[in-house]
Amino acid sequence: MTADLVVRNCTVVTPAGRTPDAGVAVEDGTIVAVGRPDSLPDAERVLDAGGNFLVPGIVDGHIHNREPGLEYKEDWESATRAAAAGGVTTVVGMPNTDPVVDRPEHLELKFERGEAKAHVDFQSYAVVTSENLDLIPALDEAGALGYKVFLGSTVGDVPPPSDGEILEAMEKIRETGKRLGFHEENGEIIDHYTERFRAEGRNEPIDHSHSRPVIAEREAIERMITFAEETGAKIHMFHVSSGSGAEAVARGKERGVDVTAETCPHYLWFTEDVMAEKGNVARIQPPIRDEAERERLWNAFEDGAIDCIATDHAPHTDEEKLVDDPFGNTWDAISGFVGLETEVPVMLTFVDEGRLSAEEWVYRHSTRPAQVWGMYPAKGSLQVGTDADFTVVDPDSEWTLDDRTDLHSKNTVTPFEGETFAGKATATVVRGEVVYEDGAVVGESGYGTRVDVDADD
Ligand code: DOR
Ligand code: ZN
């Protein structure tokens, strides 16, 4: 047999361990062999990984790709170009687009645009509001990966459903077998402090952070866990920012609730001191927490309370982020920043520092998100017969993000500008096609396809 592609000369890392001096062979977009050089077939194309790590493709279950409707910030092409350059082979788009993804036609529109433009594979969540509870089964049939509820006000102003409506939504979603994720901030708490701080003239970037206190996150997590305990729904906590929140997730898991959670690189990397250093550039919802909360988040992450890493990649224009006046009135600034091209470097830096093993990183950043969202083992594994999605990383290269405009997104504001990392992606392979190598996105726009999670239904 002659394979289409062999990636050789790498250390293959999976959650189960590492194999030095190994490689992977691909035929028709699927893995046909993994192992030592003498076990691999000849191939039409051989990619020398230069002794680097080869891992199952990174899965980012939380990006704001902004299309349809907000293409001035980002679109499927630019978001997935950034993904390819960042070593990310599958992305899942958030539903706070324009229109919001609240009915099958809007989901289909989002998928069509992705099919036309994406560089890597993709999926999308559907939003649940007071208005669309009856559409939950139809959104499942239209192929949504899962569902999202915004419990508190955030970018996009999607109104939260009532607690009764959430209970009903959980019952309906349980029937689909899919998972319901939350923007888990108690809306009444954050609205109260936002109004109070604004009335008092507290306008600094850190005031925005403190207007959304940890208790708002913890309470929302605990309430949704209680609802899931009652209804039997599978739930997920997006962007857990605090140790208090992560510990609440751990208690839910101990109670036997099917609750999964993610945190984001910025909550593990920065403390709220970044607001004094970088101002509104680092403004995000939920906000970056203090040192004590970050340490507790790390501990909970190590203990397994947090299943996955995801970015919350949220591009906005320089004007919206007040880049020219980063310490200007925070209530005039918007929340969110890009992350697709720094998530692998951040996590490899933690590996380099010995905070987690490479195997644990791969589990949290590829295998586990694929499992949580029902895409495993097609995504998130290196098993023979599954999609040939790989990320090749150099775990030793030290580099600094000197100039954010080197990033591939349409808008590139990020607090990671100026930070130094140990490691980066050197090649990205999606279903056997090399989409990024030697610092250049070489794949074609439109190659990426929707991950079909309902094929066997
Ligand atoms: O900071 C944020 N930005 N938090 C969110 O919940 C949404 C996101 C966005 O869409 O920009
Ligand atoms: Zn988000």
Residue at 25 is within a domain: yes
Q: Please enumerate in sequence order all residues whose Cβ is within 8 A of that of 395, keeping only pairs 6 or more positions apart, or say none.
A: 52, 53, 348, 351, 352, 358, 422, 423
Q: Which residue among 270, 285, 320 is best mutated to probe the pocket of ligand 1, counting the most ligand atoms within 8 A of its Cβ?
A: 285
Q: Judge if 292 and 242 occupy the same domain.
A: yes
Q: Is the same domain home to 71 and 39?
A: no
How many whole angstroms from 358 Cα to the centroid of ligand 2? 26
For residue 433, the cross-strand partners are 430
Residue 153 confidence (pLDDT): 86
Question: Residue 361 is part of a domain; what is its CATH number?
Answer: 3.20.20.140
Taking CA atoms only, the protein residue closest to ligand 1 atom 4 is 285
183 close to ligand 1 (CB < 6 Angstrom): yes
pTM over 0.75: yes
What is the rounded CA–CA span in Å between residue 173 and residue 169?
A: 6
CA neighbours closer than 13 Å in the CB half-sphere of residue 410: 19
Is 457 domain-assigned? no
| DSSP assignment letter at 365 | I
Sign of torsion over alpha carbons 394, 400, 401, 403:
negative
pLDDT at 455: 58
Which amino acid makes up residue 260?
T
Q: Are residues 346 and 388 in the same domain?
A: no
Residue 342 CB-density burial (10 A; 0-12 exposed, 13-18 middle, 19+ buried): buried
Do 63 and 44 lie in one domain? The reply is: no
Residue 320 belongs to a domain: yes
Q: Decide if 95 is inside a domain.
A: yes
pLDDT digits (tens), the chain, 457 positions: 799 999 999 999 999 999 999 999 999 999 999 999 999 999 999 999 999 999 999 999 999 999 999 999 999 999 999 999 999 999 999 999 999 999 999 999 999 999 999 999 999 999 999 999 999 999 999 999 999 999 998 898 899 999 999 999 999 999 999 999 999 999 999 999 999 999 999 999 999 999 999 999 999 999 999 999 999 999 999 999 999 999 999 999 999 999 999 999 999 999 999 999 999 999 999 999 999 999 999 999 999 999 999 999 999 999 999 999 999 999 999 999 999 999 999 999 999 999 999 999 999 999 999 999 999 999 999 999 999 999 999 999 999 999 999 999 999 999 999 999 999 999 999 999 999 999 999 999 999 999 999 755 4
Task: Compute, in angstroms, the gap from residue 351 CA to the centroid of ligand 2.
Answer: 25
Tell me if 446 is assigned to some domain: no
Q: Are residues 15 and 153 in the same domain?
A: no
CA of 361 to the centre of ligand 2 (A): 21
| Whether residues 427 and 293 fall in one domain | no
Reading the block at residue 444, the tokens are 């074609």
Whether residues 347 and 391 fall in one domain: no
Q: Are residues 314 and 338 in the same domain?
A: yes
pLDDT value of position 345: 98
Structure tokens at 232: 């039997």
Contacts of range 367-371, beta carbons closer than 8 Å, 24 or more positions apart: 367/14, 367/15, 367/56, 368/307, 368/308, 369/59, 369/60, 369/61, 369/262, 369/307, 369/308, 369/309, 369/310, 370/59, 370/90
Cα 432 to Cα 449: distance, rounded to the nearest angstrom = 13
CA dist., res. 238 & res. 101, Å (int) = 17
Residue 110 to residue 385: CA distance in whole angstroms: 29
Does residue 81 contact residue 408 with C-beta atoms inside 8 Å? Answer: yes
Amino acid making up residue 103: R
Please tell me the number of the ligand nearest to residue 94's CA.
2
pLDDT confidence of residue 457: 45
Instruction: Answer whether 54 contacts ligand 1 (Cβ < 6 A).
Output: no
Residues near 271 by beta carbon (within 8 Å), at least 6 away in sequence: 288, 289, 290, 291, 294
**Phi, psi of 431, rounded to the nearest 5 degrees:** 45, 45
**What is the domain range of residue 391?**
2-54+384-396+422-441
Quick one: which atom of ligand 1 is closest to the CA of 183? Answer: 6
* Cα 62 to ligand 2 centroid, rounded to whole Å: 6
Query: What is the CATH number for 433?
Result: 2.30.40.10
Is residue 364 lining ligand 1, measured as CB closer than 6 Å?
A: no
Question: Quick one: 158 and 264 in the same domain?
Answer: yes
In angstroms, rounded to a whole number, what is the distance separating the alpha carbons of residues 333 and 325? 10
Does any ligand 1 atom lie closer than 6 A to the CB of residue 244? no
**Residue 450 lies inside a defined structural domain of this protein:** no
Count of structural domains, the chain: 2
Residues 257, 378: Cα–Cα separation, whole Å: 26
Residue 445, classed as helix, strand or coil, is coil
336 lines ligand 1 (CB under 6 A): yes
- Ligand 1 atom closest to the Cα of residue 156 is 10
Looking at the CA of residue 154, tell me the nearest atom of ligand 1.
6
| Cα–Cα distance for residue pair 281/274, rounded to 1 Å | 9
**Among 357, 427, 366, which Cα is nearest to 54's?**
427
Residues 130, 12 within the same domain:
no
State whether 31 and 146 are in the same domain: no
* 415 lies in some domain: no
167-176: string of b/e by CB count within 10 Å (b at 16+)?
Answer: ebbbbbbbeb
Pocket flag, ligand 1, residue 411 (CB < 6 Å): no
Task: Identify the nearest ligand to the CA of 96 by its number.
Answer: 1
Identify whether residues 86 and 228 lie together within a single domain: yes
335 CB under 6 A from ligand 1?
yes
Domain assignment present for 352: yes
Kind plus residue range of the DSSP H or E element containing 345: helix 343-352
Nearest Cα residue to 96 out of 138, 137, 152, 141: 152
DSSP 10: E
Ligand 1 atom closest to residue 315's alpha carbon, by position in its atom list: 11
Q: At what angle do helices 214-231 and 187-199 cross, to 10 degrees?
A: 160
**How far, in Å, is the centroid of ligand 2 from the Cα of 238?**
7
